[in-house]
Chains A and B, each alone.
Chain A
Amino acid sequence: MSIIEVKNLIKKFKTKDGEFTAVNNVSFSVLKGEIFAFLGPNGAGKTTTIKTITTLLHPTSGEIKLNGFDVVLNSNEARKSFGIVFQDPSLDDELTAYENMEIHGVLYNLSKDLLKKRIEELLKFVELWDRKDDFVRNFSGGMKRRLEIARGLLHHPKILFLDEPTLGLDPQTRNHIWSYVKDLNIKEGITIFFTTHYIEEAEKVANKVAIIDKGQIIVLDSPQNILEKTNAKSLEEAFISLTGHSIREEGADSLDKMRLKRRFSRR
């Protein structure tokens, strides 16, 4: 059964000189329990796709269903089905870790007792329980990301969206985060949808990979099948043979740095 269904999604933005099509007629579906990776260079339309699926942006056209609910027509039901970890932080820095969790629980209408139990469970899971009463502004980047993951899981979502979840983290923290995520997928059967431009992450973690470039899906299959189809030794090679360019261009690299700078200069 597919839990995410996207049909002919188009998202255009108005710009000074006309229109810019960020997502150009994208269709795919994700099965329940899958780990699905959206792989592509910066500016390929990954974040726009994830934001449109998660109701932050309105689709220009096309149909999106989460857990059977249309995200435009039945947005609140669709919203209950997923948790999300954004690319940029979305925590309230002036509140404690616990308070951030509490707000989330109330917004998702959890009962008081359940909320208490869940917060403890999850903060222990991401190893932040002993820091629960600290202000988030004193947390490191990795700790914030872990807190966001815990928060995204608070309401027992069926799907977890992760937008570049390891961007700007050191290798150790990256591994740490992926081990949480895989654990969740295996133990709780949560469907994982993540975007990344780290090829090795898609290759290692995902059951299925969609390669996206310039707003369009170029190929969608399991990592093994993609390698077989393109006769490549690695996804990196496959990417080059499919798109004609490497995933990490110089432009992308400097954009990456800029993004990181922005992330860390925030308070």
Chain B
Amino acid sequence: MKAVYILWLRQIKRYWRSKSRMIGSLTQPLLFLLAFSFGFGPIFQKAGGGNYIEFLTPGIVGMSILFTAIFSGVELIWDKQFGFIKETFVAPVPRYQIILGRILGGATVSSFQGFLVFLISLLFGFKITNFFSLFFGFIFMFLIAFAFTSLGTAIASALDDIQGFQLIMNFLVMPTFLFSGAIFPLNNLPEFLKFIAQFNPLSYGVDGLRWALISNSHFDGIFDLFVLFGVSVVLVGIATYIFSKMEVK
């Protein structure tokens, strides 16, 4: 298991050292918080939705974790292109440990990123109700991070170049974000969009975060927890399978 640790540590070091990346990926959620909370806040309130920043924060936290997590998956393609993957593949370490190290590293980085966004939201007036809720909030942040890092890694295992990944970002990541209830409630959506949202793991992540942080949920917090956990296990399984079959050309 030392191999898992050292590969985890590698991801943390890489993240910590590229401050530009850290700050760069904070600007988008910051913009969203700024634009949406001031732009839609009053309308949301008038329509009887309540405090919009409270509603929005879990969504934007979820979004930033989604983006960072999928991006951590891209890093695997870079490792393929820049060759580091070969170093790990000739080492006497089972492939599942290599991938676990990678996924845990990516998940740690992206949940930390989510935490930073959460801190920023406090400046916008988000209020923490109690610290117990914060604890569950962290659990959901990590689960979202873990599930989507696994997804990103699985996709990156199957792809050979960065071009293909761009396509997936547009056709997978944006819809996942938009139809997860991150920026608007799922309740009032037309049936077919509601139907789609049901199959979106991020819906459960965002819902779980709302359940933990503002005690307001569409599904149910415990149910969210199970769904996310189940999805994570399946995705790690798929990623490990593709990874272990992988050849380095």
Contacts and interface: CB of A to CB of B under 8 A. Distances in A.
B2 A93 contact: no
Given A92-B10, A106-B2, A107-B6, A80 B90 contact: no
Nearest to A76: B92
Interface in B1-16: 2-3, 5-7, 10, 13-14
Interface stretch (A82-90, A170-178, A245-253): A82-90
Interface string A134-174: 00000000000000000100000000000000000000000
Given A58-B247, A86-B83, A89-B82, A107 B14 contact: no
B88 A107 contact: yes
A107 B93 contact: yes
Given A79-B92, A89-B83, A92-B84, A57 B10 contact: no
Nearest to A82: B90
Given A79-B91, A103-B10, A108-B92, A88 B83 contact: yes
Report the interface size class on chain A: 20 to 34
B84 A107 contact: no
A93 B78 CA distance: 11
Contacts of B87: 90-92, 103-104, 107, 151
Contacts of A117: none
Report the interface size class on chain B: 20 to 34
Contact of A91 (B6, B17, B84, B94): B84
Contact of A109 (B2, B83, B247): B2
A99 B91 contact: no
B249 interface: yes
B89 interface: yes
Nearest to A107: B91
B247 A94 contact: no
Contact of A57 (B6, B18, B247): B247
Contacts of A91: 83-84, 87
A102 B91 CA distance: 13
B4 to A, nearest CB: 10
Contacts of B249: 13, 51, 57
Contact of A79 (B7, B84, B86, B90): B90
A54 B83 contact: no
A106 to B, nearest CB: 4
B92 A77 contact: yes
A108 B91 contact: yes
B31 interface: no
Contact of A80 (B2, B14, B17, B92): B92
Interface centre among B3, B83, B89 (most CB of A within 10 A): B83
B21 to A, nearest CB: 11
A73 interface: no
A95 interface: yes
A187 interface: no
Nearest to B7: A103
Nearest to B10: A103
Contacts of B14: 92, 94-95
Interface of A: 13, 51, 54-58, 75-77, 79-80, 82, 84, 86, 88-95, 99, 102-104, 106-109, 151, 266-267
Interface of B: 2-3, 5-7, 10, 13-14, 17-18, 81-94, 247-249
Q: List the 6 closest pairs (A to B, CB-CB), nearest first.
A: A90-B83, A107-B91, A106-B6, A79-B92, A76-B92, A56-B248
16 contacts: A56-B86, A57-B249, A75-B92, A76-B92, A76-B93, A79-B90, A79-B91, A82-B90, A89-B83, A94-B14, A99-B10, A99-B13, A106-B2, A107-B91, A107-B93, A108-B92
